């Protein structure tokens, strides 16, 4: 009976994390604002970068915060009952954001959600991932490359600063990020990925947004 309850709790944590992560805040917020279906705008992505195409910076910021928060909340709630459940809930949240059942498994790219998960499961790892993104973005000015570098290095950070279990979660997150960024990777290889604008051009331009080259808000 104890083993059965344990298995059920693991399944429940993963499922609850998935359901929380699958909430499409970008879609919900744009519809509530009377802007229609975000999937019919720009790239069709539900993340904050695409929400920014509507011209509503506040909605994009809210999407970014909520997408990160849902990953963190999934982990923090499950952590009340132990790290095993927290890790499963985090993995479920990332899967939910990238492949939400409500949207026929077509979700966002998961960067904001990933950083929320990492900050909640091991804040030094999450902090280093954020700093890595900032450094790579500043040097190379490619947001997608910065996101991939940050999430790829996060399992290494977790291995030394946390433990193998949380490093495994970070590795899963990195794998999903690479899968969801396949179009950006092809543009990077072709030299067609838009760069982040700095200085007087710091605001994300229409060209930047059109190529998904802006900050990693999806």
How far apart CA 173 and CA 152 sit, in angstroms, is 9
| Confidence (pTM) | 0.88
Distance linking the first and last C-alpha atoms of the chain? 42
User: Tokens 């809210």 belong to which residue?
Assistant: 62
List per-residue pLDDT tens for the chain, 218 residues long.
445 556 899 999 999 999 999 999 999 999 999 988 888 887 778 888 788 888 888 999 999 999 999 999 999 999 999 999 999 999 999 999 999 999 999 999 999 999 999 999 999 999 999 999 999 999 999 989 999 999 999 999 999 999 999 999 999 999 999 999 999 999 999 999 888 765 444 433 433 333 344 444 44
Q: What is the pLDDT of residue 198?
A: 55
Cβ-based neighbours of 28, under 8 Å, separated by 6 or more: none
- Please name the residue ranges forming H helices in the chain: 2-21, 25-32, 48-51, 57-78, 83-98, 111-121, 123-140, 143-161, 164-180, 182-190, 206-210
Exposure on the CB side of residue 32, measured as CA atoms within 13 A: 9
Residues 60, 66, 68, 70, Cα dihedral to 10°: -150
């Amino acid at each position: 009976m104890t083993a059965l309850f344990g298995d059920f709790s693991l399944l429940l944590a993963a499922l609850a994390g998935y359901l929380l992560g699958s909430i499409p805040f970008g879609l919900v917020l744009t519809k509530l604002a009377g802007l229609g279906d975000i999937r019919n705008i720009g790239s069709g992505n539900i993340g904050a970068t695409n929400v920014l195409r509507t011209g509503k910076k506040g909605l994009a910021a809210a999407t970014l915060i909520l997408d990160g928060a849902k990953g963190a909340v999934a982990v923090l709630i499950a952590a009340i009952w132990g790290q095993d459940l927290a890790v499963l809930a985090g993995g479920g949240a990332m899967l939910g954001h990238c492949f939400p059942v409500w949207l026929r498994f077509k979700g966002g790219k998961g960067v904001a959600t990933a950083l929320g998960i990492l900050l909640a499961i091991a804040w030094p790892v999450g902090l280093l991932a954020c700093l890595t993104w900032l450094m790579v973005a500043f040097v190379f000015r490619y947001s997608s490359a910065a996101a991939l570098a940050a999430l790829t290095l996060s399992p290494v950070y977790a291995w030394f600063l946390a433990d193998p279990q949380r490093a495994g979660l970070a590795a899963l997150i990195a794998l999903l990020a690479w899968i969801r960024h396949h179009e950006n990777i092809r543009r990077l290889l072709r030299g067609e990925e838009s760069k982040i604008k700095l200085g007087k051009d710091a605001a994300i331009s229409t060209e930047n947004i059109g190529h998904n080259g802006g900050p990693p808000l999806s």
